[in-house]
C-alpha cells in the first residue's frame, strides 16, 4: 500500500511547477523549429529564433521561460487506497507546494 506524506506531496507539486517553468515540451520545440525552417519573413524568422534561443537558455540555466505568473491548477491523482499521512489538510499541503520557495 502506497504511503503519501505531506513532504512527498508538497515536493512533488513544487518539482512539477519548477519543471514546467524551465522547459517547453519537445513537441513545441520541434514544431517551432519546423516553422522557423519554412518561414519566409525575416522578421517572423527572427522572432521564432529568439523564442527558440530563450527556450534553450531557460532549460540550460534553470530559469523561468516567462515571467508571467499565471494561475496554477493542481489535479491530484493518487491511485487506489493510498495511506495519506499528512500533517494538515490536503489543500494546505497543495498550497505549500505551489508557493514560491
Q: Domain limits of the chain? A: 3-98
Please calculate the CA angle 72-74-76 and round it to the nearest 5 degrees.
170
What does pTM read for this prediction? 0.73
C-alpha cell at 7: 513532504
Nearest alpha carbon to residue 94 among 9, 2, 3, 8:
9
Per-residue pLDDT tens listing for the chain (101 residues)? 788 899 999 999 999 998 988 999 999 999 999 999 999 999 999 999 999 999 999 999 988 888 776 788 888 888 888 888 888 888 998 899 988 76
Report the distance separating Cα 85 and Cα 101, nearest Å.
22
C-alpha cell at 16: 512539477
Amino acid at each position: 500500500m502506497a504511503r503519501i506524506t505531506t513532504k512527498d506531496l508538497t515536493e512533488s507539486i513544487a518539482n512539477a511547477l519548477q519543471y514546467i517553468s524551465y522547459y517547453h515540451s519537445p513537441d513545441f520545440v520541434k514544431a517551432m523549429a519546423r516553422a522557423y525552417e519554412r518561414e519566409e519573413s525575416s522578421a517572423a524568422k527572427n522572432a521564432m529564433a529568439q523564442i527558440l534561443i530563450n527556450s534553450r537558455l531557460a532549460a540550460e540555466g534553470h530559469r523561468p521561460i516567462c515571467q508571467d505568473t499565471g494561475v496554477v491548477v493542481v489535479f491530484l491523482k493518487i491511485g487506489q487506497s493510498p495511506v495519506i499521512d499528512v500533517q494538515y489538510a490536503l489543500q494546505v499541503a497543495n498550497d505549500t507546494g505551489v508557493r514560491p520557495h
